[in-house]
Amino acid sequence: MEIKIGIGLDQIKFGMDRNKIQQLLGEPTEKELFSYSEDEDDLTEVWHYDDQELSLSFDEADDWRLIMIAGSDESFKLNGKEVVGKSLDEVAALIKEMGHLDFEVEEVSEKDKVIKLEEESLNIWFDLDEASELQWGPKWSDDNTPIFPA
């Protein structure tokens, strides 16, 4: 499963609607609906596919189109290389090898860290120095406008 920065994952592309995703992947294991803010018009629906260790987020603000992918299976590859299960140093070296020298490592808690590539809309989460999840989305033309692939 190749991660395509700014585009999606294999045949799944940012900007797809829920019907198209369901045609590709079938019915999700679980659906969650919530808001990141107090605004009732700011809803997000997350579809979880447990067997694939995959979660897909659709935002109301973006007409319920795919806005974020998260995966925690070792089969997810970045630049052809597995990431989940690798150390922070190994993943940092891979990111540098890809030409991304401007990234941030943020300590979230005593045992959790995240590598953030803001320009690429990519976060890689670490639990006890081991990559545990990748989250990525489309690139953005400004703070409110995602660039969906054609």
User: What pLDDT is stored for residue 39 in this prediction?
Assistant: 67
Asked if residue 58 belongs to a domain, the reply is yes
Give yes or no for residue 131 having a pLDDT over 70. yes
Asked if residue 109 belongs to a domain, the reply is yes
Asked if residue 150 belongs to a domain, the reply is no
- What is the percent of the chain where pLDDT is above 70? 97
CATH of the domain at 82: 2.60.460
Asked if residue 149 belongs to a domain, the reply is no
Domain with 90, as residue range(s), is 3-137
Q: How many domains does the chain have?
A: 1
- For 5-144, strand residue ranges (E) read 8-9, 12-13, 30-35, 43-49, 54-59, 65-71, 77-78, 81-82, 104-107, 112-117, 122-127, 130-136, 139-142
* pTM score: 0.93
C-beta of residue 94 within 8 angstroms of C-beta of residue 85: no
Asked if residue 146 belongs to a domain, the reply is no
Q: What is the DSSP letter of 73?
A: S
* Segment 83-97, tens digit of pLDDT: 999 999 999 999 999
Asked if residue 143 belongs to a domain, the reply is no
Asked if residue 95 belongs to a domain, the reply is yes
Asked if residue 64 belongs to a domain, the reply is yes
* Segment 41-94, tens digit of pLDDT: 689 999 999 999 999 999 998 999 999 999 999 999 999 999 999 999 999 999
User: What pLDDT is stored for residue 140 in this prediction?
Assistant: 93
